[in-house]
Amino acid sequence: FTQYHANAVCSPTRASFHTGRTAFRVGVPSPVPRNEALPLSEKLLPQYLANAGYQTWLVGKWHLGSISEAHLPHKRGYQHHYGFLGGAVDYYTHSMMNRLDWYRNGEAVEETGYSTDLLASEAISLIKKRDESKPFFLNLSFNAPHTPLQAPESFLANFAQVANVNRRTYLAMIQAMDAAIGKVYETLEELGLAENTLFVFMSDNGAQTGMGGGSNTPLRGAKDGAFEGGMRVSAFVLWPGGLEGGWVFDRLFTVMDWLPTLAAAARFEIDPSIALDGFNMWPYVHDGNWVERGPTILGGGANRAVFSGDWKLVDTEGRRSLFRIAEDPNEEKDVAAQNAEVVERLAAVLRDHPVGTPDRM
């Protein structure tokens, strides 16, 4: 997907992925602090899949709140969770601010090893020990390449020629994650599961530059922002037994679209009383048939964007810019002054969009 868009930061993307709704509607516009959580009133993707007979596992990052036991992932549709609940952990001590943040189904566990490898090993173990009579949904959510920047020496050695230490470590972290994903996929192949497994890869936000070691060149902006560098990220799907390979999808596909799209692929019903902001893109993914979509809101915090046809409105703390995003993907030419009516129409979409509140302690 060359036009795949997440939200501009982690928790909002995870909220949209799980609910099919904007992060603003569900009350998670920014990284979730310790005293807040994604509302229990929201029905999540793993709940739908569990009800449809799937084994559901989250391995890795949650960061949607842990203010009560009911808000933990293994109580919200995931039948098993292994990993961390907050935003970032040390890759070796598995702690954040000197506080252990590593759990198995709500119970703190002390583990030895590099987190990327631990998460891959847990995923492999779950796949091997699965109930073979049921399908499974695995959400393998690595912390790499989030800060703190840490990588094994064996991978750092592959980038010794990179002078900038942050960049060098960032690249090594990605290579370590790539190797870990490879091991998981090899397990699917060895067990004869790859042919009938829908495999999705995506990132949760654009790269954090500078101290974060990332680069979004040539896109404008970075993580936390509503320009393309903050939200246009890598994504692909693979299903050897169900999808024809070699396609490039060059129109808008967002993190909110996964819930309705996977509902179509896995054939489960979505609660009709819930207003989704994502679109069922399965006809596009499966057959290449474009799905007409209305205005789409993405962003994080005070940085929001509205996509509508060829237009993209960027609202950064009330400052508005307008771009013809198809012809100007690097957002170099602001055409707001020449298209005041479009600016007002898309600004109204933002203004009228419901804003929810998180659950709080």
Instruction: Tell me the Ramachandran region of residue 97: left when phi exceeds 0, alpha when psi lies from -120 to 50, beta otherwise.
Output: left
Strand locations in 95-188 (E): 95-96, 99-100, 103-104, 107-108, 136-141
What is the distance between the alpha carbons of residues 4 and 350, in angstroms, rounded to a whole number? 21
- The 10 Å Cβ neighbour count of residue 356 is 18
Name the catalytic one among 5, 18, 63, 146: 63
What is the distance between the alpha carbons of residues 196 and 154, in angstroms, rounded to a whole number? 34
Which residue's entry shows tokens 């169900």?
Answer: 242
Judged on CB neighbours under 10 Å (0-12, 13-18, 19+), 105 is middle
Which residue's entry shows tokens 């010794």?
Answer: 160
Residue 63 is a catalytic residue: yes
Write the CB contacts of 181 (distance below 8 Å, at least 6 apart in sequence): 120, 140, 201
Residue 80 is a catalytic residue: no
Residue 67 structure tokens: 């203010």
Give the three-class secondary structure for 123.
Answer: helix
Name the catalytic one among 10, 71, 94, 146: 10
Active site residues: 10, 63
